[in-house]
Amino acid sequence: MHLLFGMNTKTESFESECGFSLIEVVIAAGLVAGAFAALAQVFAISIATNAAARGGSAATVLAVQKMEQLRALPWSARAPGVDYLDRAGNVLAEGGASPPGAVYTRRWSVELSGDGNEIVLKVGATGGRNASKLVTIRTRQAP
Q: What is the pLDDT of residues 51-79, one digit of tens each?
A: 888 878 888 888 888 888 887 877 677 78
pLDDT digits (tens, 9 = 90+) for 27-47: 999 999 999 999 999 999 999
Q: What is the mean pLDDT of residues 109-115?
A: 77
Instruction: Please tell me the distance from the alpha carbon of residue 36 to that of residue 34, in angstroms, as a whole number.
Output: 5
Decide if 137 contacts 70 (C-beta within 8 A).
no
Q: What is residue 143's predicted lDDT score, i.e. its pLDDT?
A: 61
Q: What residue spans define the domains of the chain?
A: 20-140
Extended beta strands in 46-95, E state: 81-85, 91-94
Q: What is residue 89's predicted lDDT score, i.e. its pLDDT?
A: 84
Cα separation values, 14 from 11, 19, 118, Å: 9, 10, 92
Q: Which residues of 17-53 are buried (b: 16+ CB within 10 A; e: fewer)?
A: eeeeeeeeeeeeeeeeeeeeeeeeeeeeeeeeeeeee
100 pLDDT more than 70: yes
Instruction: Please tell me the distance from the alpha carbon of residue 137 to that of residue 142, in angstroms, as a whole number.
Output: 15
Q: How confident is the model at residue 14 (pLDDT cuts 50, 70, 90)?
A: low
Q: What is residue 6's predicted lDDT score, i.e. its pLDDT?
A: 55
